[in-house]
Amino acid sequence: MPKILIVDDEPFIRLLLEQVLEELEDEGVELITADNGETALDIIRREAPELVFLDVMMPKMNGFDVCNAVKKELAINNVYIVLLTAKGQEFDKLKGVEVGADVYMTKPFNPDEVLQKARSVLGL
């Protein structure tokens, strides 16, 4: 069963992403959520989600550090990471690429784009 991990410290954003992606549950996709980077890293190690929507600015461990740990330190290459952030400056996008993010999306995000990205990554 394919898994999508939604990571954001804002409950409203997590709920919004869950609502956008919930139709994929009918296609056998499991949605998992986390509210901080530390928990997200534990879930990625344990559950091996295929796709992660990852906020950048979070408590305990930011999204850049989580992405770097997954892609560079742990060398888990079979997880697709979409950084979702309000930080849209070129410097931040470059940092996202540097830590291994597959895609960098800025908030507010387009729900259709999020769903389309999930379908594409999971091959649905």
Please count the other Cβ atoms lying within 10 Å of the Cβ belonging to residue 97: 12
Burial class of 9 by CB neighbour count within 10 A (0 to 12, 13 to 18, 19+): middle
Q: What is the dotted CATH code of the domain comprising 3-122?
A: 3.40.50.2300
Query: What is the Cβ-side half-sphere exposure of residue 43, based on CA atoms within 13 angstroms?
Result: 24
- pLDDT tens digits for the chain (124 residues)? 999 999 999 999 999 999 999 999 999 999 999 999 999 999 999 999 999 999 999 989 999 999 999 999 999 989 999 999 887 788 888 898 999 999 999 888 999 999 999 999 999 9
Amino acid letter for position 120: S
Q: What is the pTM assigned to this prediction?
A: 0.95
Query: What is the Cβ-side half-sphere exposure of residue 11, based on CA atoms within 13 angstroms?
Result: 0
What are the sequence ranges of the domains in the chain?
3-122
